[in-house]
Structure 1
Amino acid sequence: MTDVTHVDRASQAWLTDPTVFEVNRTPAHSSHKWYARDPQSGQWSDLKQSLDGEWRVEVVQAADINLEEEPATAESFDDSSFERIQVPGHLQTAGLMNHKYVNVQYPWDGHENPLEPNIPENNHVALYRRKFTVSAPVANAKQAGGSVSIVFHGMATAIYVWVNGAFVGYGEDGFTPNEFDITELLHDGENVVAVACYEYSSASWLEDQDFWRLHGLFRSVELAARPHVHIENTQIEADWDPEAGTASLDAALTVLNAADAATVRATLKDADGNTVWQTTGDAEAQTAISSGPLQGIAPWSAESPTLYELDVDVIDQAGDVIECTSQKVGFRRFRIEDGILTINGKRIVFKGADRHEFDAERGRAITEQDMIDDVVFCKRHNINSIRTSHYPNQERWYELCDEYGIYLIDEANLEAHGSWSLPGDVLTEDTIVPGSKREWEGACVDRVNSMMRRDYNHPSVLIWSLGNESYVGDVFRAMYKHVHDIDPNRPVHYEGVTHNRDYDDVTDIETRMYSHADEIEKYLKDDPKKPYLSCEYMHAMGNSVGNMDEYTALERYPKYQGGFIWDFIDQAIYATQPDGTRSLRYGGDFGDRPSDYEFSGDGLLFADRKPSPKAQEVKQLYSNVHIDVTKDSVSVKNDNLFTATGDYVFVLSVLADGKPVWQSTRRFDVPAGETHTFDVAWPVAAYRADARELVLQVSQRLAKATDWAESGYELAFGQAVVPADATATPDTKPADGTITVGRWNAGVRGAGREVLLSRTQGGMVSYTFAGNEFVLRRPAITTFRPLTDNDRGAGHGFERVQWLGAGRYARCVDNVLEQIDDSTLKGTYTYELATAQRTKVTVSYTAHTDGRVNLHVEYPGEQGGLPTIPAFGIEWTLPVQYTNLRFFGTGPEETYLDRKHAKLGVWSTNAFADHAPYLMPQETGNHEDVRWAEITDDHGHGMRVSRADGAAPFAVSLLPYSSFMLEEAQHQDELPKPKHMFLRVLAAQMGVGGDDSWMSPVHPQYHIPADKPISLDVDLELI
């Protein structure tokens, strides 16, 4: 290994030497805050100076520069010709480098042959420069005998640093701080920092995450001064004993120049600033603080994230405070007890998501507001945990998770997926990085060490992760040992052992990716030795998250401890198109090859941070309170670990055919972990005479506002449907009107409406009210849906291609138009589907002189091993003005057979809002369990579709694009300007699936069997 201590010249050889991952870097330490009194002004200062803002930069080919002679590193270099760039920021989002997105493969694969530790010849380096004048507090601290460091909180992928022309140091692992002491290099007046930031280095082999390959200084850069006597590191154990109900605080302090101080005073304060505990001891280089048992301390959890403040003052011989540090602490105990993960003595279930730091404008250079928005989304959708996939996040994120109450798996910046995996998940053992290769061990141990040292004191961090999808080997044993040498309490997670069980000892948790619920259940039933977590599951790509309830149902097993949905937010980037419009783009849209295209679009949030419809399902299934409603009671199961339900309000409602007719507010106080049943005298009798069905509904809501939601915000609900007495039987007295049976067409007129059935066109060709036409072309049979990402990944298109055109190209082979009576005309059309079997489907219209039309579509079932049907019903082209949809069904967001843990009620939306902007256009907008739907223009004119008397509910969607338009487009902006609206009324549609997006089919119970009859029976009425 190269000696890299106190090096004063840069070497480009470090870029390809895996044993060199830092040169002259300050050892990793905690991210606590410190303050000192300015010896000049007497004011207290945090001794920080931001270097964020405008920098100068030039991007060149790495082969074109010699670091040892590069003129841009000189203090006097004229950088006026350089581009301007904002720091934090990415070179790509500034337009200075090309965007690249790949998942498993390394981005230079094919252009060059990836052979570690080599890096591609086509490598770029960004030469950054910034001038600065040292602020008075920092300069005064230096003058008083302190030191000054420059800190790079985030960069990619490797940096060399110079200050005033002198070489400072080299660093990799850009997701934890790279800090360098520059005390002796600063001078009065204007100083210059120069940075050579490389696109690729040997570190790139360890950073093969499934994300956009973005580069540059993407987190803050700052100067940090330390007073002469300084608490450099704090390692805090804030324990809470659930049996005794007492807390204890132990802290190990590293004090620089402790001999020049007298004492250290520690003070623990509550949220109101009251002193809870205080102690004073001698200052030593390694100072230990211990509180002993503390009474009256409130424990920290995601449910009640109570924080205290630990202030540590350094006091000199004269009794003056020369430095004070501050750190928020939460008292909690997280352990594996009897094979079960527990927090404060209670079994925990992680209701989690995997989160990349990402913004559609700024890439990974996200803002504090982005982070707050993400935390609020979690709290509002019952997400209690986040895995920082696949690197340590910004420091502010951990503080927010402490404050709001979010559990974290903190993951080291390590993924080498492309080193060991060939297409089809074929293992190539000889190319594994890091595996058991000793030359990579130092870098990998350093990465987990840097993460732990920085983040140790955050109560939100419950589990350390060694990284992601990097296979396994002796390097991981070394990392595991290092973690537990520092922290014997928190468990270690690493999923890679599933590929080689000889290394089961490097994870404390059985953790898997994308195992199906039945596979997980098999593990849980087989006397498991370790607690189980799905570190990734429910691949939320496009229209997904079906059958999630199969996973949450596993919570009945004690050692099932939840999972993390992949993932949190779509990774898509805004780009300006040739016509001047801006739209979200995915991999491959920037000329990047190779690419994994739209595979980056798998978030619960769209890239603009708007919730996707999938979040509706997650919120209900992740709820800690489960409400079961019957016609005479309400049962409340409280799965919170520590919080009773007495501080919430429960709003009881009765809906008569979807219309609210009664409401009452109750308080159901159920202790944590218990289930109570409460008698409720629902006023069913008062409303059942005038309704077909009553919905009894209970909503759990916030009784008072929180930091993340307003008072009255709903967290969970329960419903029950009670049949009522009214029927849909219309007035039997015939309406006045006229029936005409002609040679080519037959028609019905009455009540200002007209229906025209055609002998040649195969159905209804006109349906008018006051001269407004509702049929542009006759409604068409559909047996298809636009493929979802999951459909494509599972090969549903290949397996069901015959259904693509079976309905679209069906031909009418017979028709019968007959007058039933003076007020009724019936047209029955027989179609042959465009399949080899030529299955016959009948479509009948029964039109009445009062303007009502019954539409009945019947599929008889076809034997012979046909694949299941994607969808069955009709698709109807409407005039463009009919954009509004109001329906009585499950909503308000789209629902599907395997994703409909949604409220039954009356919802109002429109075709544009119902078109979810998935990165790749696909099936969207479906609503299940619909009793009736109204499709209207802005004046309320339109059509009502209702299930026929005795018929099953149906599914409906109204979109500005046809199924085939959605199937054809590859980006949202490729969809045409709407000229029509497209109504689908379906007897059934298959589920969307969710286990993964590359192999797993929709589960069998959510398919539409081709060998069973299918019937759509609805009544139409123009309104």
Structure 2
Amino acid sequence: MADKITTASAAWLTDPTVFAVNRTPAHSNHVTFSHIPAIGEPSDLKQSLDGEWRVEMVQASDIDLEEEPFAAEDFDDSAFGRIDVPSHLQNAGYMNHKYVNIQYPWDGHENPQEPNVPETNHVALYRRTFTVAERLDAARQNGGTVSITFHGMATAIYVWVNGVFVGYGEDGYTPNEFDITEALHDGENVVAVACYEYASASWLEDQDYWRLHGLFRSVELAAQPHVHIEDMKVEADWNPETATGSLDALLAVRNAKNAATVSATLKDLSGNVVWETALAASDETGIVSGSLDVKPWSAESPALYELQVVVIGHDGAIVETATQRVGFRRFRIEDGIMKLNGKRVVFKGADRHEFDAKRGRAITRQDMIDDITFCKRHNINAIRTSHYPNQEYWYDLCDEYGIYLIDETNMETHGSWVANNIETPETAVPGSKPQWEGACVDRINSMMRRDYNHPSVLIWSLGNESFAGEVFRAMHAHAHAIDPNRPVHYEGSVHDRAFDDVTDIESRMYAHADEIEEYLKSNPKKPYISCEYMHAMGNSVGNMDEYVALERYPQYQGGFIWDFIDQAIL
């Protein structure tokens, strides 16, 4: 671990330029195997660490991260409490519930100036033991690696394995993955996590919702063989003029020199081979199909296929198989209108928080299935992931059932630029402040790298209610550098029209129908969506007919009702 930082530092908590230490670069969420799997088979290279953990609540002032004894392998944690992972500390009784809208949760109690945090800062010290499963350990013993991934946490984590510091991470709505290979040993291992309530990241996470903390999504180990497909970037295009598809994939292959070939097979979900090829392995392996006889993907007809990539060693043995479901579709803005497969699309959408009255944001797979079934039964064809990337399984369901997604970056800074209904642009975070640019670009990068291959994702969103500024220009440019095809959405530019260029779509909240109609009659360059409208919390949702009537204008392309489910805790 000579090239890694091996000592934790409390200074990172208030330094916005430090948002990840030793974190694995963001990558696609393709599934890997040690063999050729059946369609739908779970990975044999992953191991869940969900279940009962031990936990102790302390204040930030009570711990020394550089010498913290709780992280030691032989630390006696018998006096710690118990908590299920995934879950929230509040729901387990370790912290009090808070609901905050525009202001920050410390407002009226303490007055830290960004990027600093309140002195009252809870820290949850988590610990659990684990033994690496034989199938994962075999990869480690044969020159591969093992990582630990925290799929969701709030707000910042320091991680140790067997007393060895392995990493620090913020942005708890995209994976925080750390290579722990060198810290592991045979037999029982110990993972320790210090999960902080507040960090500089808290200034970017002022969403209007229950403020819930802890390890609230799954934690898992994953093994990577000595030759490993680190990333798959798949373009599955469909040409409406020829009614044919084409596949263009770029694979990042670690230690490609130790492999002979990479073979790729495209199958329908019944297992029928549509197309296949084989080529020599290289660090960047490109796969290009040419014209394919495939069905297009849409919400009404969500046709899916599976791309299966097999890495073959020089001895002819299978080293690794990677699978990725794909849907062939083309989504573009043409002549100021968003079109899917050559036809105008209208979003009959809702804004959705991940939420359950008992579990908070630690929702289950069944919760997601229930939500998507409700959407399909009630003709909801689109969801905006307000205001953060969702659990990965949600995207799989949206691909399978047919739901259009606006995938939204984990960012809302409402309380930094609005006080008593008065806007103060000069105090906005991130605004045009260069110290925040890295963290904000990292957040959209992490989301896009993870979710790129999902056909359900039609639009990328830079975040919510965070004003405007040069940082958003950097985020918009980064998004289009990664993905030149999908449009980028951001509503906040309405507060400063000098930054109209940071959004490819005109997007407003709660605009009256007549105001929208004025825009549509002005020969606009951009299509229009209502990213929030109707406000359906409680007894409301009147005047819907006025918005539906706007659909006679081709550039009015629907909207997203706030919101999908009321946030209430039993």
Instruction: Tell me, yes or no, whether TM beats 0.5.
Output: yes
Contact kept in structure 2, 1:37 and 1:45, CA below 8 Å: no
1:150 alignment partner AA: I
C-alpha distance in 2 between matches for 1:134 and 1:231: 21
C-alpha displacement of 1:271: 1.9
What is the aligned partner in structure 2 of residue 539 from structure 1?
Answer: 535
- 1:596-607 correspondence to structure 2 within 5 Å: none
C-alpha distance in 2 between matches for 1:346 and 1:275: 29
What is the aligned partner in structure 2 of residue 343 from structure 1?
Answer: 340
Contact kept in structure 1, 2:31 and 2:43, CA below 8 Å: no
C-alpha displacement of 1:264: 0.6
Where 1:291 maps in the other structure, the secondary structure is strand
Where 1:359 maps in the other structure, the secondary structure is coil
C-alpha displacement of 1:320: 2.3
Q: Given the alignment of the two structures, is residue 105 of structure 1 paired with residue 103 of structure 2, yes or no? A: yes
1:123-158 Cα offsets, whole Å, 9 max, x none, are 100000000111101111100111000000000000
Contact kept in structure 1, 2:35 and 2:321, CA below 8 Å: no
Q: Given the alignment of the two structures, is residue 512 of structure 1 paired with residue 508 of structure 2, yes or no? A: yes
C-alpha displacement of 1:6: 1.6
What is the aligned partner in structure 1 of residue 90 from structure 2?
Answer: 92
What is the aligned partner in structure 2 of residue 840 from structure 1?
Answer: none
Where 1:372 maps in the other structure, the secondary structure is helix
- 1:60-459 correspondence to structure 2 within 5 Å: 60-295=58-293, 297-424=294-421, 426-459=422-455
1:923-944 Cα offsets, whole Å, 9 max, x none, are xxxxxxxxxxxxxxxxxxxxxx
Contact kept in structure 2, 1:26 and 1:180, CA below 8 Å: yes
1:474 to 470, 475, 478: 470
Change (3 A) 1:44 1:314: farther
Contact kept in structure 1, 2:425 and 2:467, CA below 8 Å: no
C-alpha distance in 2 between matches for 1:477 and 1:292: 35
Where 1:131 maps in the other structure, the secondary structure is strand
What is the aligned partner in structure 1 of residue 53 from structure 2?
Answer: 55
C-alpha distance in 2 between matches for 1:428 and 1:499: 11
Contact kept in structure 1, 2:236 and 2:245, CA below 8 Å: yes
C-alpha distance in 2 between matches for 1:6 and 1:370: 39
- 1:605-624 correspondence to structure 2 within 5 Å: none
What is the aligned partner in structure 1 of residue 26 from structure 2?
Answer: 28
C-alpha distance in 2 between matches for 1:114 and 1:191: 39
C-alpha displacement of 1:318: 2.6
1:417 alignment partner AA: H
- 1:782-931 correspondence to structure 2 within 5 Å: none
Where 2:158 maps in the other structure, the secondary structure is strand
Please list every run of 5 or more consecutive structure 2 residues that lacks an aligned counterpart in the other structure: none
C-alpha displacement of 1:430: 2.3
C-alpha displacement of 1:7: 0.7
What is the aligned partner in structure 2 of residue 522 from structure 1?
Answer: 518
Structure 1 segments (4+ residues) deviating >3 Å: none
1:547 alignment partner AA: N
C-alpha distance in 2 between matches for 1:543 and 1:348: 29
C-alpha distance in 1 between matches for 2:532 and 2:457: 18
C-alpha distance in 2 between matches for 1:377 and 1:506: 33
C-alpha distance in 2 between matches for 1:439 and 1:5: 25
Structure of higher RCO (CA pairs closer than 8 Å, 6+ residues apart): 2
C-alpha displacement of 1:423: 1.6
C-alpha displacement of 1:46: 2.4
C-alpha distance in 1 between matches for 2:107 and 2:364: 33
C-alpha displacement of 1:279: 0.7
C-alpha distance in 1 between matches for 2:276 and 2:515: 52
Task: Give identity over the alignment, percent.
Answer: 75
What is the aligned partner in structure 2 of residue 936 from structure 1?
Answer: none
C-alpha displacement of 1:55: 0.1
Contact kept in structure 2, 1:55 and 1:84, CA below 8 Å: yes
CA RMSD of aligned residues (A): 1.2
C-alpha distance in 2 between matches for 1:527 and 1:429: 30
C-alpha distance in 1 between matches for 2:142 and 2:548: 59
What is the aligned partner in structure 2 of residue 548 from structure 1?
Answer: 544
1:950-982 Cα offsets, whole Å, 9 max, x none, are xxxxxxxxxxxxxxxxxxxxxxxxxxxxxxxxx
1:272-309 Cα offsets, whole Å, 9 max, x none, are 110000011110000100001112x1100000000001
1:492-537 Cα offsets, whole Å, 9 max, x none, are 0000000000001110000011101110011001111100000000
Where 1:533 maps in the other structure, the secondary structure is strand
1:328-386 Cα offsets, whole Å, 9 max, x none, are 10000000000000000000000000000000000000000000000000001100000
Greater gyration radius: 1
Contact kept in structure 2, 1:126 and 1:196, CA below 8 Å: yes
Contact kept in structure 2, 1:5 and 1:23, CA below 8 Å: no
- Matched length: 565
C-alpha displacement of 1:268: 0.3
C-alpha distance in 1 between matches for 2:373 and 2:96: 33
1:647-693 Cα offsets, whole Å, 9 max, x none, are xxxxxxxxxxxxxxxxxxxxxxxxxxxxxxxxxxxxxxxxxxxxxxx
What is the aligned partner in structure 2 of residue 1000 from structure 1?
Answer: none
Where 2:389 maps in the other structure, the secondary structure is coil
Where 1:306 maps in the other structure, the secondary structure is coil
TM-score normalised to the size of structure 2? Answer: 0.98
Where 2:292 maps in the other structure, the secondary structure is coil
1:533 alignment partner AA: I
Where 1:228 maps in the other structure, the secondary structure is coil
What is the aligned partner in structure 2 of residue 591 from structure 1?
Answer: none
C-alpha distance in 2 between matches for 1:553 and 1:45: 48
Change (3 A) 1:214 1:301: same
Contact kept in structure 2, 1:104 and 1:417, CA below 8 Å: yes
1:484 to 457, 467, 480: 480
2:129 alignment partner AA: K
TM-score normalised to the size of structure 1? Answer: 0.55
Contact kept in structure 2, 1:464 and 1:492, CA below 8 Å: yes
1:301-327 Cα offsets, whole Å, 9 max, x none, are 000000001000111123222211111
Change (3 A) 1:432 1:358: same
Please list every run of 5 or more consecutive structure 1 residues that lacks an aligned counterpart in the other structure: 575-1023
1:368 alignment partner AA: R
1:197 alignment partner AA: C
What is the aligned partner in structure 2 of residue 570 from structure 1?
Answer: 566
C-alpha distance in 1 between matches for 2:347 and 2:42: 42
C-alpha distance in 1 between matches for 2:250 and 2:412: 32
Where 1:99 maps in the other structure, the secondary structure is coil
C-alpha displacement of 1:63: 1.0
C-alpha distance in 2 between matches for 1:151 and 1:342: 37
Contact kept in structure 2, 1:385 and 1:408, CA below 8 Å: yes
1:72 alignment partner AA: F
C-alpha displacement of 1:5: 6.7
Where 2:459 maps in the other structure, the secondary structure is strand
Change (3 A) 1:526 1:24: same
